[in-house]
Amino acid sequence: MADEHDSAFDVLDSLDVLFRHKWIIVGLATITLAAALLVSYLKDPVYTSTGKVLVKPIALNPPGSVPLASVINMPTEVEVVRSLLVAEIAAKELSEVDPQVALGRVSATFPADSQIMLISYSDAEPAAAQAGAQAFSTAYLEFRSEQAAEAASAAIEHATSQIASLKRDANAAAREAQSLPPASSGRTEAENRAAQLNGQIAGWENSVALLNIQAVDAGQVLVPAGRPVSPSSPNHRLDAIRGLLLGLGLGVAGALVVDRAAKRRRRSPP
């Protein structure tokens, strides 16, 4: 009971201290609020535009043949958007922007459990922000398409190599069968081996045919980047709240320090 009474007394005592030194709190809060607003309004405005891109799996996996990635890992795709390779493609559309500079202005996010990429670009000019977001959206899709085409080309090359190797083995098995007596077990075994190899060849050839006719669909721009009408930064309201909270914190600390200093002076002998 005594502890509760002492605790309540401490709270009331602290509130009394803050009330007696309220002008310190008000003064510091006013100063920091004014300073925060001044700095906020002196900042150059920054505009941000965002494009919405649907990311599609690049499924180039004919059954039983060429292993190519077809699962989308969205965190990885975010890093692709913010890669120098994509920035270099986008910079071709943004003729006066260096790729490294462009990288510092672009960001990418995605809603959870979705295949939607939100690609944003910030600039001091609304039109430049819009152009940057659109350039990165199309550059990202172009890069994915190029990567898929290169993967398909490598897969076709691998399949062609496999076909050539299998054909050599099949021809060797056929020659071996021809050299053995008819109806012999060795000839039957060689013919079966040749037939199996020819079946594998047919599978690989079918895979190559499918890869040659498949169209690469890396995705599409669902919502083109729009021209922003108001700056995304600075946020004057948020800056004001931060300045006010900082000032209140400094004011409370200052009031407590002043009160303790006054108590020490009163307790010290003259």
Instruction: Write the pLDDT tens digit of every residue in 27-64.
Output: 888 898 888 888 877 777 889 999 999 998 876 554 44
Residue 219 parent element (H or E): strand 219-223
When pLDDT is cut at 50, 70 and 90, the band that residue 226 belongs to is: very high
Whole-number Cα distances in Å, 140 to 57, 82, 110, 176, 237 = 14, 9, 14, 54, 35
pLDDT on residue 177? 85
What's the rounded Cα separation, in Å, for the pair 81 and 52?
Answer: 13
**Dihedral pair phi/psi, residue 218, rounded to 5°:** -75, -15
pLDDT at 59: 60
Residue 123 bridge partners (DSSP): 47
Question: Residue 85's closest CA among 26, 30, 145?
Answer: 145
Query: What is the pLDDT confidence band of residue 2, given thresholds at 50, 70 and 90?
Result: very low
Q: What pLDDT, on a 0 to 100 scale, did the predictor assign at position 43?
A: 75
**132 and 94 in contact (C-beta within 8 Å)?**
yes
Strand order of the β-sheet with 47-55 is 106-109, 116-123, 47-55, 219-223
Q: Give the span between the Cα atoms of 27 and 225, in whole angstroms.
A: 45
Q: For residue 55, what are the β-bridge partners?
A: 219
Q: What is the pLDDT of residues 159-186, one digit of tens each?
A: 889 899 999 998 998 888 888 888 888 8
Question: Which phi and psi angles does 105 have, rounded to 5°?
Answer: -110, -10
Note if the bond before 234 is cis, omega within 30 degrees. yes
Nearest CA-CA partner of 216 in 152, 140, 157: 152
